[in-house]
Amino acid sequence: MEGKVVGVTTASYYSGQNLNFAVPVNDAKPLLESTESKTLAEVYEMEGSEGYGMYDYDDVTMGWFSLNMGNLEEAEEYFLKAAEVEPSNVEALMGLGYVYYEKADYSKARDCYGKVVKLAPDEPDGYQGLGLSWAEEGKYDKAIEMLEQAYEIDPYDDYTVSALGKAYEEAGRYNDAIYLYRDMIESNPTEPGPYYWMGNCQLKNADWKGAMESFEKLLVVYPDALQAHIGMGYANLGMGKTGTAVSEFDKALLIRSNLTKEETLDALKGLGEARLKMGHHNKAEEVFNEMVTIDPNSADAHYGLGRAYVAGGNLEAARKEADILKGLDKELAERLNEEIKAKE
């Protein structure tokens, strides 16, 4: 045999039939460019019409293929076909629920997941879908009710446990969330996520030492977790260790490309707060101005900047920040105006 084998792959996702190998880009590119492009739907129709189906595709399978390709409209079409033929097809209803969830049509998603629960009351998937869709609309009590049922059925599903923990957290039930995250850590002590989530809950509970311990353990299992330094910065702020807090926030901001925009703003906010507590109002101004540059609509940035101006005696600049805040966060605007009046 002459030539070179560059990779082998299968398109079938049936159990026991998967062979997946990476193909180097330079080898794959000419093969892809010389092949006529077809959508999954076109391949499906072609195989059906020519009678040589390589795989036993059905509408549900095609729906999931389309979802994996990011084509929600095509996926919806396939799942609807499958549900039309068999209204009690749980896989089709789950697929439809997922499509509507991704489209942010949570009412339709719940309609599908509700049918799944009636058809398969002993399976966690329908309850999980209902819980997630309620959570997206901020109805955390309803989300918790559904996710708790999913958890009762399968307490070892990490996705359900993490979703329930986050719902508890959003509802202010931090102790319940911490309990779940501890359970996740006990089951898999090398998974970094639960340490981070638990640390954040402990921060909200003002359990500074507990939060420090969680973030320190996070760094043990994942040394590159810059987010741990943000958490440790806030824990040190809570304990009054402002110098150490500054050091932790600086560590987090060393490689900003590894942080999301929200995480960067969170780290800068903490750094600005620490600088204010240390009486470094000029440095605090620099930090909060940087926040404004990143996100001009950040209420936290304008509030922090206004406070820095107040600390430095620049009340005119502080009033301008208070005026901006009126359109972003009235409560923070009122708070800043009170600080300005106290300084006049």
**Choice between 196 and 255, residue whose per-residue pLDDT is larger:** 196
Same topology, domains 182-271 and 279-344? Answer is yes
Q: What is the CATH number of domain 279-344?
A: 1.25.40.10
Mean pLDDT of 157-178: 94
Q: What is the model's pLDDT at position 205? A: 95
Q: What is the model's pLDDT at position 13? A: 44
> What percentage of residues in the chain have a pLDDT greater than 70?
83
Judge contact between 303 and 330, C-beta under 8 A.
Answer: no
Location of structure tokens 């600086």? 250
Q: Domain 182-271 maps to which CATH number in 1.25.40.10, 3.40.50.720, 3.20.20.140, 3.40.50.80?
A: 1.25.40.10
Alpha carbons 60 and 44: distance in angstroms, whole number: 12
Judge contact between 267 and 253, C-beta under 8 A.
Answer: yes
Mean pLDDT of 299-318: 97
Q: Can you read off the two tokens belonging to residue 172?
A: 């202010």
Fold of 40-171: 1.25.40
Provide the whole-model pTM: 0.76
Which SS3 state, helix, strand or coil, does residue 43 take? Answer: helix
Mean pLDDT of 65-94: 91
The domain locations on the chain are 40-171, 182-271, 279-344
Mean pLDDT of 248-271: 95
